[in-house]
Structure 1
Amino acid sequence: MVAGLDGLRFSHWKAEQRDDGVLVLAFDRADESVNTFAQDVLIELDTLLERLALEPPKAVVIRSAKDKGFVAGADIREFAEFDAKGTIGDSIRRGQQVFQRLAELPCPTVAAIHGFCMGGGTEIALACDYRVASDDDSTRIGLPEVKLGIYPGWGGSVRLPRLVGAPAAFDMMLTGRALSAKAARNIGLVDKVVQPPLLIDAAAALALKGTQRPFKQRALGWLTNTWPARQVLAPQMVKQVSRKARKDHYPAPYALIETWRRTGGGIQQRLAAERTSVVKLAGTPTARNLTRVFFLQERLKGLGGKDHGITRVHVVGAGVMGGDIAAWSAYKGFEVTLQDREQPFIDKALARAQELFQKKVKDDAKRPAVSARLRSDLSGEGVASADLVIEAIVENAEAKRGLYAQVEPRLQGDALLTSNTSSIPLDELTRDLRRPAQFAGLHYFNPVALMPLVEIVRHEGMDEATQARLAAFCKAIGKLPVPVAGSPGFLVNRLLFPYMLEAATAYSEGIPGPVIDKAAVKFGMPMGPIELIDTVGLDVASGVGQELAPFLGLSIPAALATPPETGRRGKKDGQGLYTWEDGKPKKPEVPKDYQTPDDLEDRLVLPMVNEAVAALHEGVVADADLLDAGVIFGTGFAPFRGGPIQYVRTTGVDALLARLSALQARHGDRFAARPGWDNPALRG
């Protein structure tokens, strides 16, 4: 038995005594594939540390016994349960106490980090004296709690600023950004970076020998946390945050900065302030909705298995969407051929792909292999060997059917044929197919590298195995799949179009574009609808409008009624509803005395909510959670509100129906309540 631990049995921790006197504590959460901190894990660790404090070894190294990473953080499932029971304060107090006990052990402690180290994983590492990380690409260290509407509450927000200095610490905590091992070492978060096979030996050696951090790092940690420095730095941080997020939408960053600004004293005083602040945040609607969004994301990830049977991908259409789909697939490890009717189109897409690879593949030695996976294929020879063909040509049903007639006879027996159509009903595309069971929509969103969602568009003749393979493919390329019905606009564009259409209508009435955009952003949308129309392209918006307006019973305002003139399609031409320079819109000044209509926000948002209710009623997606997930990850719909259906539940069906009725009386029947408002799911 290990000295000091005689007679104790553990479910989640394994103690290993090395010949050099170093005790290695291996975290191996029982019955889970990934390490997360649940309360029973913390209780067990507390008992273990209590015994080690009485009979300490020469040193302690904490490592993971899992293949998948170090620690993913706290168990978010318990977080939601504690919120419902009102016991979050107890759980945060326990985490703080256990990690503080680790920090007070009378022997050197080292965290040996390999793979992902997030949230509570980073906090336990911060409670150790030293940190060693593997130089593997999978090793990422972060504190992403802000994405759940809180901030590090197990001592992380107290320890990190004093370790690496306030600027670097707050950059991590306010953005939720994860660092590579090398980047973590550069700011002083990690003391040493080694190859994975050397990790434990290096950690043990560091524990026994110790090290002193460079003077500059130690000085930065002290100087930037003095009372005067906190009073100077905090307002600057608030100003930076305010450019990205409103305090009434996302209070956590502001609470984090303010708690740090006003709290000094010893470790217990600072931990108490952290705990009080985080407990208060955890009870806010923002935190509850962002936690819900986390579970929605996990559900979408769970739709994709591992067995997609896809190695080679052939993309037809080298425009912005097709070219970027091809580049992203190659970046994610697939062999890709890219076809178009003329070589210059392909060359332009390949040049854009190199920009992506330059940005994403940091290791210069690895970049050529990634680039080699994407090849020009003017004649379409790649069709015959492809496991998946993605059509991304012009949004015209006849043109697409003509392409399928050429491509389908050349496909392998189990190959899948898909379309990146954004709005055409799939029944119009399957009309002449020989193998409709192996055809589906695979609708990406622009920009492909940034937008996480892909709609898997179903039709009656599609095989379930086709959906399963496509969901697994989405998972393999790091995208979130959501299965949707093949009716016009599917899910995301069907909801987004009434929002954009009403914005264009308001614009045609003379309401300034910046005023319209400001109202939407105030609600929580990531971008105003006028700017969005320009970003998507007036040509694309007009084309989608022609497809969806008759289906939704809406009329198209002048701004979108006809395809735009050449050179005035929006951002891509530098001129649309706005003028664009260096990729940014130059919005005209609005007179200071301009009075924004008091119903403008409702005019923009409620058409989208109204259509969400109708889409749920018609079964465009299987349930309300999938609808909210699709709209949040496909449009950026105010995550802190939890999605359009959650917004209905929070605001109240009767209240929203009354507001729609008022809009209908003032602006017309396009605001009439759509079918489905009696759905019990809206009150759940």
Structure 2
Amino acid sequence: MVAGLDGLRFSHWKAESREDGVLVLAFDRAGESVNTFAQDVLIELDALLERLALEPPKGLVIRSAKAKGFIAGADIREFAEFDAKGTIGDSIRRGQQVFQRLADLPCPTVAAIHGFCMGGGTELALACDYRVASSDASTRIGLPEVKLGIYPGWGGSVRLPRLVGAPAAFDMMLTGRALSAKAARGIGLVDKIAEPALLIDTAATLALRGLQRPFKQRALGWLTNTWPARQLLAPQMVKQVSRKARKEHYPAPYTLIETWRRTGGGLQNRLAAERKSVVRLAGTATARNLTRVFFLQERLKGLGGGHAHAIEAVHVVGAGVMGGDIAAWAAYKGFQVTLQDREQPYIDQALARAQSLFQKKVKDDDKRPEVAARLKSDLAGDGVARADLVIEAIVEDAQAKRGLYAQAEPRLKPGALLATNTSSIPLAELAQGLQRPAQFAGLHYFNPVALMPLVEIVRHDGVAEETLARLAAFCKAIDKLPVPVAGSPGFLVNRLLFPYLLEAATAYAEGIPAPVIDKAAVRFGMPMGPIELIDTVGLDVAAGVGRELAPFLGLAIPPALATPPEPGKRGKKDGQGFYAWEDGKPKKPEVPKDYVAPDDLEDRLVLPLVNEAVAALHEGVVADADLLDAGVVFGTGFAPFRGGPIQYLRETGIDTVRARLQALQARHGDRFAPRPGWDDPALRG
């Protein structure tokens, strides 16, 4: 038994004394594969620290006993429970008190960080005197609480600005961005970097010898937190945040800045202000919905677990923007990929785009050639016979796709899978004539592939469950979120998105300026307006999806999307669509200052999407409302702070929204008539 800890038994912490007198405290949460802070973990740590304060060692090093990283932060499941019970304030207070006890220990303390260190893990490290980080590429240090609608509440928002200076601290906290060990060392968050095998020895040496931080870092921490500096910097931070998020949608970053700006005095005063504002934020609808979205994301991640994909080689047919980027992403994620098209120039263009992706994603210059070598040109299509997965990404035409399958399927290995990236064609239509329909499914990516996290796994009546499970596991391997959907027209995301885009084009045809339409959608919470989105996707793609979905949905197509666009006017990729584009950004025309937007414009845009969500849930396009919300949030960027279209319905009031639809129907026509499913019990949950 370690001196000072006699008689205490720990479930989550293991103490070991070194010969040099340093105590190493290993965090090993019982029954979990990843370290997170639950209340029993904090209570146990509190008792341990209380005893160490009475009989301190020469130094204390805190490390993780888990192979999977340092500490992932607070247990979000428990956090949600406390919010529901109204006891979140007790949780925040306990975390602050325990970490303050760590900060007050009468011996040097060091956090030895290997792997991910997030949220409460970073706050614990900040309560230590020093921090040593592993040089391993997996080491990432961050404070992502803003993504849950709150901000660091266990002392992190108080300690970090004074450690690294306000600008660097707020860059971390306002974005939720995680830093590599090298970047953390650069701003002064980490004191030393060590090889993984030497991490604990380095930390112990630091505890015994100490370290004087550079004068510039110490001065920055003091100067940028004085009252005049806070008054000067805070408005600049608010201006930067306002470019990304509206205050009424995401109050956390604004509250964080304002709490820091107005709060001075001693540590306890600043901790009290932090606690009060974080507790208030935790009770907002935004925080509840962003927490819900977090759990939805975890559910989608789980769909890809528990099964082997048995895929090593991938062959992609179609080197256009989608096919080429699908191939590049798979190669980046470690798969051997061959890329085929009817002419070599198309493949060459895709390979050039892939090089840009690798340049951006692979920071190590020495490793980049190895990644690039995994993606090979294959004009003849020889890779079909060697592939474990063949992905078709050619033109959106059922006859052309079936013709390709007739050529490729006989060449497939016995266990190989065939997948289509079709965005809207029913799978039953594409599966006609296949010899092995059980090994055929949809694998629908979204543009841009490198940024959009969702992939729809599209089923049909003849597909094997084994095929769907392997594709879900493949999605996990390439860091995408799989959502299983029925193979009906448009599947889930495009089926819901199309009425939204169609109404935007209809409003535009009526003379409502495009920037006004986009502004209304952004005001609701969409990441970009629908007119800009049509230009980004491409008017040619939108017109193609329209031809497929309009008859199914019973909708008329306005002129702008009724026919393929003129050459050179397909949108962003041509530099001209609804907007003119320069350097990847739309040039939106000025709207007359006296122009007044129709008061029902926001409802006209959003409610068709919500209406179709009701119908899709009713028809069983997805298994339940949570999967529908997850698919729409991660597939379209639908206002995450609203939790998804079904959650938006439930919070706003199902009868209230239906009445608003009926008002639109009376004013604008039957395209707004409530779709089947509004009385379905599944809608109310």
**What interval of TM-score do these two structures reach, taking the shorter chain for normalisation?**
over 0.9
Q: Are 1:49 and 2:76 counterparts?
A: no
2:471 corresponding residue in structure 1:
470
In structure 2, distance between residues paired with 1:663 and 1:40: 53
Q: Secondary structure at the match of 2:443?
A: strand
2:183 corresponding residue in structure 1:
183
Q: For 1:613-624, list aligned pairs within 5 A.
A: 613-624=614-625
1:407 corresponding residue in structure 2:
408
In structure 2, distance between residues paired with 1:470 and 1:461: 15
Instruction: Compute the RMSD of aligned alpha carbons.
Output: 0.5
2:342 corresponding residue in structure 1:
341
In structure 2, distance between residues paired with 1:233 and 1:5: 46
Question: Once the 2 structures are TM-superposed, how far is the Cα of residue 679 of structure 1 from its aligned partner?
Answer: 1.7
- Whichever residue aligns with residue 4 of structure 2, its letter is G
1:75 corresponding residue in structure 2:
75
Alignment deviations for residues 262-287 of structure 1 (CA, whole Å, 9 cap, x no partner)? 01111111100000000000000000
- Structure 1 gaps of 5+ residues are none
Q: Secondary structure at the match of 1:572?
A: coil
Q: Are 1:390 and 2:387 counterparts?
A: no
1:645 corresponding residue in structure 2:
646
Structure 1 stretches (4+) deviating beyond 4 angstroms?
Answer: none
2:443 corresponding residue in structure 1:
442
Question: Once the 2 structures are TM-superposed, how far is the Cα of residue 398 of structure 1 from its aligned partner?
Answer: 0.4
Alignment deviations for residues 225-261 of structure 1 (CA, whole Å, 9 cap, x no partner)? 0000000000000010001000000000000000000
1:560 corresponding residue in structure 2:
561
Q: Are 1:169 and 2:176 counterparts?
A: no
Q: Secondary structure at the match of 1:70?
A: coil
In structure 2, distance between residues paired with 1:234 and 1:145: 19
Q: Greater shift after overlay, 210-219 or 602-611?
A: 210-219
In structure 2, distance between residues paired with 1:334 and 1:674: 43
Q: Secondary structure at the match of 1:286?
A: helix
Indicate if the aligned counterparts of 1:83 and 1:283 stay in contact, CA closer than 8 A: yes
Q: Secondary structure at the match of 1:573?
A: coil
In structure 2, distance between residues paired with 1:366 and 1:266: 49
1:121 corresponding residue in structure 2:
121
In structure 2, distance between residues paired with 1:651 and 1:276: 28
Q: For 1:112-261, list aligned pairs within 5 A.
A: 112-261=112-261
Question: Once the 2 structures are TM-superposed, how far is the Cα of residue 14 of structure 1 from its aligned partner?
Answer: 0.1
Q: Secondary structure at the match of 2:573?
A: helix
1:416 corresponding residue in structure 2:
417
Indicate if the aligned counterparts of 1:500 and 1:530 stay in contact, CA closer than 8 A: yes
Q: For 1:351-370, list aligned pairs within 5 A.
A: 351-370=352-371
1:296 corresponding residue in structure 2:
296
Q: Are 1:577 and 2:586 counterparts?
A: no
In structure 1, distance between residues paired with 2:14 and 2:25: 6
1:662 corresponding residue in structure 2:
663
Alignment deviations for residues 17-55 of structure 1 (CA, whole Å, 9 cap, x no partner)? 001000000000000000000000000000000000000
In structure 2, distance between residues paired with 1:53 and 1:361: 46
In structure 2, distance between residues paired with 1:468 and 1:212: 54
In structure 2, distance between residues paired with 1:210 and 1:220: 20
1:603 corresponding residue in structure 2:
604
Question: Once the 2 structures are TM-superposed, how far is the Cα of residue 160 of structure 1 from its aligned partner?
Answer: 0.3
2:284 corresponding residue in structure 1:
284
1:21 corresponding residue in structure 2:
21
Question: Once the 2 structures are TM-superposed, how far is the Cα of residue 214 of structure 1 from its aligned partner?
Answer: 1.0
1:316 corresponding residue in structure 2:
317
Indicate if the aligned counterparts of 1:652 and 1:683 stay in contact, CA closer than 8 A: no
Indicate if the aligned counterparts of 1:498 and 1:608 stay in contact, CA closer than 8 A: yes
TM-score (norm: length of structure 1): 1.00
Q: Secondary structure at the match of 2:401?
A: helix
In structure 2, distance between residues paired with 1:387 and 1:99: 51
Indicate if the aligned counterparts of 2:617 and 2:677 stay in contact, CA closer than 8 A: yes
In structure 2, distance between residues paired with 1:607 and 1:57: 65
In structure 1, distance between residues paired with 2:290 and 2:680: 24
1:519 corresponding residue in structure 2:
520
In structure 2, distance between residues paired with 1:92 and 1:557: 54
Q: Are 1:110 and 2:110 counterparts?
A: yes
1:430 corresponding residue in structure 2:
431
In structure 2, distance between residues paired with 1:344 and 1:216: 54
Question: Once the 2 structures are TM-superposed, how far is the Cα of residue 680 of structure 1 from its aligned partner?
Answer: 2.0
Question: Once the 2 structures are TM-superposed, how far is the Cα of residue 683 of structure 1 from its aligned partner?
Answer: 2.5
1:587 corresponding residue in structure 2:
588
Q: Secondary structure at the match of 2:141?
A: strand
In structure 2, distance between residues paired with 1:466 and 1:203: 48
Indicate if the aligned counterparts of 1:61 and 1:109 stay in contact, CA closer than 8 A: yes
In structure 1, distance between residues paired with 2:182 and 2:653: 49
Q: Secondary structure at the match of 1:417?
A: strand
Alignment deviations for residues 132-161 of structure 1 (CA, whole Å, 9 cap, x no partner)? 001111100000000000000000000000
Alignment deviations for residues 627-682 of structure 1 (CA, whole Å, 9 cap, x no partner)? 00000000000000000000110011111111011100110000000000002233
Indicate if the aligned counterparts of 2:617 and 2:683 stay in contact, CA closer than 8 A: no
Q: For 1:521-540, list aligned pairs within 5 A.
A: 521-540=522-541
In structure 2, distance between residues paired with 1:238 and 1:335: 46
In structure 2, distance between residues paired with 1:349 and 1:207: 52
Indicate if the aligned counterparts of 2:146 and 2:173 stay in contact, CA closer than 8 A: yes
- Whichever residue aligns with residue 525 of structure 1, its letter is M
In structure 1, distance between residues paired with 2:31 and 2:654: 42
